[in-house]
Amino acid sequence: MSAILPPSQRLWWKQPIAGQEWAWIGIAFVWAMIMFVMMVYWHINGKQNLSNEVYRTTTEMYTAKTDAFVKENTIRTETELNIPVVRPNAKNEAYLLARLWSWYPILELEAGKTYKIHLSSVDYNHGFSLQPVNINIQVIPGYEHVVKMTPTKAGTYAIVCNEYCGIGHHTMLGRIYVK
């Protein structure tokens, strides 16, 4: 038999399916349905999902919000980086701005309190990866992501950009202090 010759039985799809084949088709279908139901279940009940809201915005509007937030809530300046350290406002909201190649400002949070962290980018897609807790969000220009988080342990957490954003991508780091 060669690839040039037609198959011996032209309409192979009209041939009856053997019982063993039906069994494997059934097993594959049942497994696919179980996995589908589990995706919905873990999305609703899984503790790994963040409470997340997204709004349209402009670069100018978000930058103005962030600058106003920093101006009102700065508690000190990180001398080695010359970046302000800011506590959230009375509503426990904080703003983080991604831009080439930094996160602005540094946040100082309290353990056990729930915060709404607003995230946006002014130039390119950036990744918000909070380490070592492994929270990952893609931060896109023109969108304001609002993430609810409750820090449980005191310490210094690193914000790493995990979306390639240009030649200085490897230097795009930020911090969150939890007291």
- Classify residue 7: in a domain, yes or no: no
| Residues 36 and 57 both lie in one domain | no
139-151 confidence digits (pLDDT tens): 999 999 998 888 9
Per the structure, how many domains does the chain have? 2
Whether 92 and 150 map to the same domain: the answer is yes
Three-class secondary structure of residue 151 per DSSP: coil
State the residue range of the domain holding 33. 17-45
Residue 1 has pLDDT above 70, yes or no: no
Q: State whether 35 and 116 are in the same domain.
A: no
For 47-81, the pLDDT digits (tens) are 666 667 889 999 999 999 999 999 998 888 887 77
Residues 72 and 36 in one domain: no
Q: In what order do the strands lie in the sheet with 74-78?
A: 74-78, 83-86, 106-109, 173-178, 155-160, 126-131, 135-139
pLDDT of residue 89: 87
State pLDDT tens for residues 105-114.
999 999 999 9
Q: Which one-letter amino acid corresponds to residue 20?
A: Q
Contact 98, 121 (CB under 8 A): yes
Q: Are residues 27 and 108 in the same domain?
A: no
Report which secondary-structure segment, H or E, holds 28.
helix 19-45
Looking up tokens 């009856």, which residue turns up? 16
Instruction: State mean pLDDT over 80-106.
Output: 89
Q: Do residues 102 and 147 both lie within one domain?
A: yes
Whole-structure pTM over 0.85, yes or no? Answer: no
In this structure, are 55 and 41 located in the same domain?
Answer: no
